[in-house]
Amino acid sequence: MRKRILVTGGAGFIGSHLSERLLGEGNEVVCVDNFFTGSKENISRLLSNPHFEVIRHDICFPLYLEVDEIYNLACPASPIHYQFDPVQTTKVNVSGSINMLGLAKRLKIKIFQASTSEVYGDPAEHPQTESYWGNVNPIGPRACYDEGKRCAETLFFDYYRQHGIQIKVLRIFNTYGPRMLPDDGRVVSNFIIQALKGEDITVYGDGSHTRSFCYVNDTVDAMIRMMGSPDGFTGPVNAGNPEEVTILRLARKVIEIAGSRSKVVFSDLPEDDPRRRKPDISLARKALGWSPETGLDEGLQRTVEYFKSQLYP
């Protein structure tokens, strides 16, 4: 049966891929976005679809709609953007989540939260399992995002316990792919653009810190499986690619895949930058039957092709 699905942040990087996938599965999608980091271009191909609707709205203000499910993604995700107006970042995670949880409560519907590996902060446990409580600096420059997302999880679980609504919390690890913003400072887009333009590749620190990168189609697949999991299954569940790489190795891979002559240059590591990050995805495998299908090389190749077509149309 066709469902009407609300996607907050639906004009963003992950939200636009999710909306496309949900429409492809025969649903109606209502995309709510204030276009802070999202764009009409991201959803331009969807605008002619009669089952797709866009509402320009900031979820920090109440929203009254009739829908069957909610995916809550609204929140800037790159450090440059979430630190641009840190108070607004906390607000979207707290007031925005309360508004969306209130909507879910009124309509008695399921609500999905796009949580993040950032809830683990600079992790003292490696790899990270869902039972790890994290190591977050509550007063640092990343806190608006990390603590905001932690508080959003608290709100989701309190609405679940207090009001009995169905919640689905997924902790998403670094995701990359087409439609990342070229100028949002995230490592994959930065490196690819630098490589394609023949500019220096800017590695912060000595490049020995790590991340685990998941291709966007795999992340979207995990999100949809999480939403479809049995009633009463709340998560949190980690979704990420356990293929951990150092940032220096990523830089070398991007140079090779882009066929670039760029050189690697080193500069200071930003404050509170997590040193290591790798998901333990045993729970996602068991509860959702999910594991990523796209390896880093293949995903980077597709992303390089995308940025090439953007830079040199």
Where along the sequence are the contacts to ligand NAD (CB under 6 A)?
8-9, 11-15, 32-38, 58-60, 73-77, 92, 96, 114, 116, 172, 174-175
- In terms of CB distance, is 14 or 304 closer to ligand NAD? 14
- In terms of CB distance, is 20 or 153 closer to ligand UDP? 153
165 binds, among ligand NAD, ligand UDP, none (CB under 5 to 8 A by kind): none
202 binds, among ligand NAD, ligand UDP, none (CB under 5 to 8 A by kind): ligand UDP
DSSP states along 126-166: SSB-TT---B--TTSTTHHHHHHHHHHHHHHHHHHHHH---
- 49 burial (CB, 10 Å; 0-12 / 13-18 / 19+) is middle
204 as an active site residue: the answer is: no
CB of 143 to ligand NAD, least distance (A): 14
Residues interacting with ligand UDP, by CB under 6 A? 78-79, 174, 185-187, 190, 202-204, 209, 211, 247, 269-270, 273
Q: Which residues contact 52 (CB under 8 A, 6 or more apart)?
A: 19, 23, 28, 29, 31, 43, 46
Q: Are 189 and 180 in contact (CB under 8 A)?
A: yes
Q: Are 289 and 230 in contact (CB under 8 A)?
A: no
Residues in the chain: 313
Q: Which two tokens stand for residue 242?
A: 């356990």
Distance CA 157, CA 113 (A): 11
190 binds, among ligand UDP, ligand NAD, none (CB under 5 to 8 A by kind): ligand UDP
Of 71, 120, 145, 160, the active-site residue reads 145
167 binds, among ligand NAD, ligand UDP, none (CB under 5 to 8 A by kind): none
Q: What is the DSSP letter of 110?
A: E
175 binds, among ligand UDP, ligand NAD, none (CB under 5 to 8 A by kind): ligand NAD
DSSP states along 274-288: -S---B--HHIIIII
- In terms of CB distance, is 37 or 262 closer to ligand NAD? 37
- In terms of CB distance, is 79 or 235 closer to ligand UDP? 79
- In terms of CB distance, is 36 or 159 closer to ligand UDP? 36
Catalytic residues: 145
